[in-house]
Structure 1
Amino acid sequence: MAVGHLSVDVRASLRFFAFYLANGTIDIDLLDGIDYRPALFEFGSALEQVFAIYSNVLEVDANGQVLNDGDAQYRAAQWIRAYCDPSYQIEPPLQAWETELHGP
């Protein structure tokens, strides 16, 4: 079985997501006025969870084209908001498959 690489579209989506996240501009409306970067970058586990949610929600078609980058970013932004603001309620609540961490 041949192992392929992520499509260019998926790699671009991941790159832009990482850029927006590090730049403090992910989903500006939902996170307006919240500097989440110190909270996420201090310890790796919160940042790890953000990328898990983004990549679990991200959908790709048979040609490797990303179908829902905005939705994946929004779900990750919802988790960030709840992490930084415990009074924020994620709607709809995150499902177990969205927060699952994969790997060794």
Structure 2
Amino acid sequence: MEHLPVDVRASLRFFAFYLANGTLELDLLDGIDYRPRLMAFGSTLEQVFALYANVLCVNEHGEVLNAGDAEYRAAQWIRAHCDPSYEVEPPFAPWETELHGP
């Protein structure tokens, strides 16, 4: 595969837009201005994108199957990062938070 499928690229674009716009999963993150905390250190934002990409499922045709689930899990990580009293349910599995690359 030379490029990511169009559906995957669109899903990533919308995720980045909602994240940067402060409108990611409003039911879970309403009233929490998470953006300054994510931008303070690159590794925090890196973890959010890694979690989103790790949870995202794509079928054999390159169509995204669970963008909403991936967004929600990333939002749960953000909420837990900003609100230590928040308990992630279900807890993150190691594969969800794994960072890939060199």
Identify the residue that residue 95 of structure 2 maps to in structure 1: 97
Structure 1 runs (4+) deviating above 6 angstroms are none
1:88 and 2:81 correspond = no
In 1, distance between residues paired with 2:78 and 2:25? 10
Matched to 1:40, the amino acid is L
Matched, 1:41 2:56: no
- The alignment yields a C-alpha RMSD, in angstroms, of 0.5
2:55 matched to which residue of 1?
Answer: 57
Higher helix share: 2
Instruction: Tell me by how many angstroms 1:42 deviates.
Output: 1.0
Task: Find the aligned partners of 1:85 and 1:29 in 2 and give their Cα distance.
Answer: 15
Letter in 1 for 2:71: Q
Q: Identify unmatched segments of 5+ residues in structure 2.
A: none
3-state DSSP of counterpart to 2:27: coil
CA displacement, residues 53-83 of structure 1 (integer Å, 9 cap, x when unaligned): 0000000000000000000000000000000
User: Letter of the aligned partner of 1:58 in structure 2?
Assistant: L
Confirm or deny that 1:28 pairs with 2:26.
Answer: yes
**Residues in 2 aligned to 1:52 and 1:88: alpha-carbon distance in whole angstroms:** 21
Q: Which runs of 5+ in 1 are unaligned?
A: none
Question: What is the alpha-carbon distance in structure 1 between the residues aligned to residue 27 and residue 70 of structure 2?
Answer: 15
Deviations 1:15-57 (A, max 9, x none): 0000000000000010010000000011100000000000000
Identity of aligned residues (%): 75
Letter in 2 for 1:91: E
Query: So what's the TM-score if we normalise by structure 1?
Result: 0.97
Provide the TM-score with structure 2 as the length reference. Answer: 0.99
